[in-house]
Amino acid sequence: MADDKKIQPKDVILENQSTSKIVVETVAAVMKELMPMLQQNKGSSQPAVEQTVSGVRSKVIRDMEVKFQATVKANNRFNQSLQNLKPEQMTRIRIPKVYRKYFGPYLPVGINGVVITVPIDNNYHPIPKIYLPLIDRTIAYEDEKIDFMERTGSKDIKEVTRETLGN
């Protein structure tokens, strides 16, 4: 590994979670800081309110940039750790061709900004073990959607959402 620090399961952030988490935290920080200031400035002139909003926005943008940079650094460490995997940290996976109908010829899976693509060709392919639970969840979710379609007569898998399945 590039660092002496090993990647722990709690450090694994899916691609879409990383960005959305930062945005959610940023919006919460803006609201937490901005609302009391706006309450204090109630009745103040428009320039005073705009200055308050501008100051908070600048601070939050700086804070968000720091978080994004930390995420990028973590992603780079994770990517480097994948480059130095030992054989016992790898596994082999086979995805049956029947899933091509739902995923296409490859199943892309991303963790911490590092995406691997697993061919859907019924052959065994080596992958880092850390990706296996995510691949298993992705296929299990697709299986749930297929089962739902069969039970309900739904024709388009894209119509089936997590809410429809009750997850």
DSSP 49-90: HHHHHHHHHHHHHHHHHHHHHHHHHHHHHHHHHHHT--GGGE
Task: Give the pLDDT of the chain (167 residues) as one tens digit per residue.
Answer: 334 344 444 445 555 556 667 777 777 777 777 777 767 766 666 666 666 777 777 877 888 788 888 877 887 888 788 888 899 999 999 999 999 988 899 999 888 778 889 999 999 999 999 999 999 999 998 898 888 888 888 776 666 565 655 54
pTM over 0.75: no
Output helix, strand, coil percentages for the chain, rounded to the nearest 5: 65, 15, 20
State residue 8's pLDDT score.
Answer: 45
Strand, helix or coil at 6?
A: coil
Closest by CA to 123, choosing from 93, 91, 87, 99, is: 93
**Distance between CA 44 and CA 19 in Å, rounded?**
36
